[in-house]
Structure 1
Amino acid sequence: MKSRESLIRLKRFQVDEKRRQVTQIESMIADFHRMADELDDQIRTEQERVGITDVSHFAYPTFAKAAATRRDNLRNSALELNDQLEKARDELSEAIEELKKFEQLEERDQQRERDAQDMAEQVMMDEVASRIRAR
């Protein structure tokens, strides 16, 4: 019994850890998208400032080129993190299922103990009742 309780605590810890990991990856993806959107705004502002939107134009702003490269890198990183996020979500689901199995086993064992205790009490009550009737 004690080992199963320890195992359940361990499984709960693992589930919590997987949840934190999923949340962290989701947060990173959101941050990357936010930063990429900010770079888009900066690129548009720079293009409006100089009046050139054609990237291949010889006078296209260097800042806008560099910002576009950073933006593209952020978006690529977010895409790569999406793969990690899916994997982390799958691992979280598996950890939750494992935890449920152990909790169900523990619940079943506790129910058996309660049933056995109830049965023992009933046997004792039946004995007391039969002694009272015998008098």
Structure 2
Amino acid sequence: MKSRDTLIRLKRFQVDEKRRQVAQIETMIAEFERMAADLDREILHEQERAGIHDIGHYAYPTYAKAAMGRRDNLKRSADELAGQLTDAQDALAAAFEELKKVELLEERGASRDRIAEGSREQAELDRIALSGRGDLHPF
């Protein structure tokens, strides 16, 4: 019984850890996307300020070019994290399935234990009833 409880606690911990990993990756992706959107606004603002939208123009703002590079790096990082997110979600699903299997085995084991205990109790009651028959007197 103890080993089953320990195994269930371990599996629950693993599921919780996988959930934290998924949440952390999702948070990072959202943060990178927010930062990229901020950079898009800054690039547009810089282009409007300079009045030049053509990246190839000799006077195109240097800050806008640098911001584009940072934005592109953030988008690449978010795309890479999306792949990691898929892997983390798959790992979470597998850990959850393992937990459910262990919990089902625990439930079956507990059910068997209850049935066995009920059988033992019934056998004891039957033994008492059979051994006490001769001792019964009607008043």
Q: TM-score range by the shorter chain?
A: over 0.9
Q: How many residues align?
A: 135
Identical counterparts, % of pairs:
61
TM-score by length of 2: 0.91
What stretches of structure 1 of length at least 5 have no aligned partner? none
**Residue equivalent to 1:64:** 64
TM-score by length of 1: 0.93
What stretches of structure 2 of length at least 5 have no aligned partner? none
1:1-135 paired onto structure 2 within 5 Å: 1-131=1-131, 133-134=133-134, 135=136
Could you tell me how far 1:132 is from its partner in structure 2? 5.4
In the aligned structure 1, how far is the partner of 2:109 from the partner of 2:13? 22
Range with greater deviation from structure 2 (2-11 or 120-129): 120-129
Choose 1 or 2 for highest CA Rg: 2
Q: CA RMSD in A?
A: 1.3
Could you tell me how far 1:112 is from its partner in structure 2? 0.6
Q: Deviations over 1:66-87 (max 9, x none)?
A: 0011000000000000110000
In the aligned structure 1, how far is the partner of 2:90 from the partner of 2:27? 18
In the aligned structure 2, how far is the partner of 1:72 from the partner of 1:129? 84
Could you tell me how far 1:131 is from its partner in structure 2? 4.8
